[in-house]
Chain A
Amino acid sequence: MRNVKLKFVGINSNFRPVIKVDGQIIKAKKNEFGSYEADYNTDNDNVEISIERNLELNAKLWWLYVIISFIISIFGLFEPPYDKRCIVIDCKFNVKLNDTNEIKLKFNTMNSQGKAVEIETQNQVDEIKNEYYVDKKAKTKRNIITLIKILIWLVLIIGIIFFISEKI
């Protein structure tokens, strides 16, 4: 059984990636210095580390979540906005394991393009993917939602104005 010590630097409340080791989502704990740490045990000679960022609008039931949020928040009036930039992370590393395995992943500032993570380790690493990119599908969804909201609001305002004009 081999133990892999993982350390993640640069994660904050605005940036919460999903970290998977060999396809399993791992939970990292915050340490006293503000970075996150996780341990992973495996019998394999190498591990595959993948990092993703799940945007709200990429969820399976995103349309249902959007409708529920819109109704509960009184036609979107008290709803927090959806991520404007729609930047996602796509990282995949294949790490060959030694006797001691310490892997430090430093997250770069989110940009629409560029390298997402700097990896520091004594192990041999094969970088398969390592990038930030704009999720155009999510951005399109966001624009459509905004447009629909504006249309609904226009209909509502016209309705209210006619209602008031009828009353007065």
Chain B
Amino acid sequence: MQSQHTSSTGKIEFQVFSGRLGKIFSNLSIVFLILSFCGILSFVTTAFVILIGFTLIILSIGTIFVLIPNYWNNLMTASTITVKITEFFFENFLIFISCVILFSILSFIFLKLDKQEKHSSRIILSSIVIVITIISIIVFASGVIK
């Protein structure tokens, strides 16, 4: 009885952990979906660059201005960098979109493994992400976006 009890508790603990993994993969799939669209929507890339720039200022508590004296100018002339980043995202679109599919499927599997909690909204979200991804691949493969 004791061993049965122990293994059952271990199973529950793993189910809770798989729920956590499912949530992580769900979050990652959304992030990679945004990244895969960054190449198509250049303004998103600009916003992304500025966001990272501001995040670095906040996280370094302003010390970045001491370490990189012309940091602000560099950030403001981000348009040239943006073009390069847009190209990078566009060239690697298929890699990002593959990651989205992979993470969505993993999220779906891990969330289903968690029998301790129902993750209906997350599962629906993962399904929607997979559908959007498939549509994006079809649009990309048909050559509408060049």
Query: Which A residues are closer than 8 A to B by beta carbons?
Result: 13, 16, 18, 20, 23-25, 54, 56, 59-61, 65, 68-69, 72-74, 78-80, 153, 157, 160-162, 164-165, 168
Contact check, B60 vs A157: say whether CB atoms are below 8 A apart. yes
Nearest residue (CB) in A for B61 is A157
Contact check, B10 vs A60: say whether CB atoms are below 8 A apart. yes
Contact check, B13 vs A60: say whether CB atoms are below 8 A apart. yes
Q: Which of A23, A54, A72, A78 has the most CB of B within 10 A?
A: A78
Question: Is B8 positioned at the interface, with any CB of A under 8 Å from its CB?
Answer: yes
Task: Enumerate chain A residues within 8 angstroms of B31, measured Cβ to Cβ.
Answer: 78
> A18-B9, A157-B59 are known contacts. Are A59 and B24 too (CB-CB below 8 A)?
no
Contact check, B13 vs A161: say whether CB atoms are below 8 A apart. no
Nearest residue (CB) in A for B10 is A60
Task: Enumerate chain B residues within 8 angstroms of A61, measured Cβ to Cβ.
Answer: 13
Question: Is B27 positioned at the interface, with any CB of A under 8 Å from its CB?
Answer: yes
Contact with A along B9-43 (1 / 0, CB 8 A): 11011001100110111011001000000000000
Task: Enumerate chain B residues within 8 angstroms of A157, measured Cβ to Cβ.
Answer: 56, 59-60
Among candidates A23, A73, A164, residue contacting B68 with C-beta atoms closer than 8 Å: A164
Among candidates A18, A80, A160, residue contacting B23 with C-beta atoms closer than 8 Å: A80
Tally of contact residues, B, Cβ under 8 A: 30
Within the complex, what minimum Cβ distance (angstroms) separates B77 from chain A? Answer: 12
Query: Secondary structure of the A side of the interface?
Result: mixed
Contact check, A168 vs B74: say whether CB atoms are below 8 A apart. yes
Among candidates A25, A65, A161, residue contacting B20 with C-beta atoms closer than 8 Å: A65
Contact check, B16 vs A54: say whether CB atoms are below 8 A apart. yes
Task: Enumerate chain A residues within 8 angstroms of B70, measured Cβ to Cβ.
Answer: 168
Among candidates B8, B13, B68, residue contacting A59 with C-beta atoms closer than 8 Å: B13
Within the complex, what minimum Cβ distance (angstroms) separates B129 from chain A? Answer: 14
Contact check, A54 vs B13: say whether CB atoms are below 8 A apart. yes
Question: Is B63 positioned at the interface, with any CB of A under 8 Å from its CB?
Answer: yes
Task: Enumerate chain B residues within 8 angstroms of A73, measured Cβ to Cβ.
Answer: 24, 27-28
Question: Is B67 positioned at the interface, with any CB of A under 8 Å from its CB?
Answer: yes
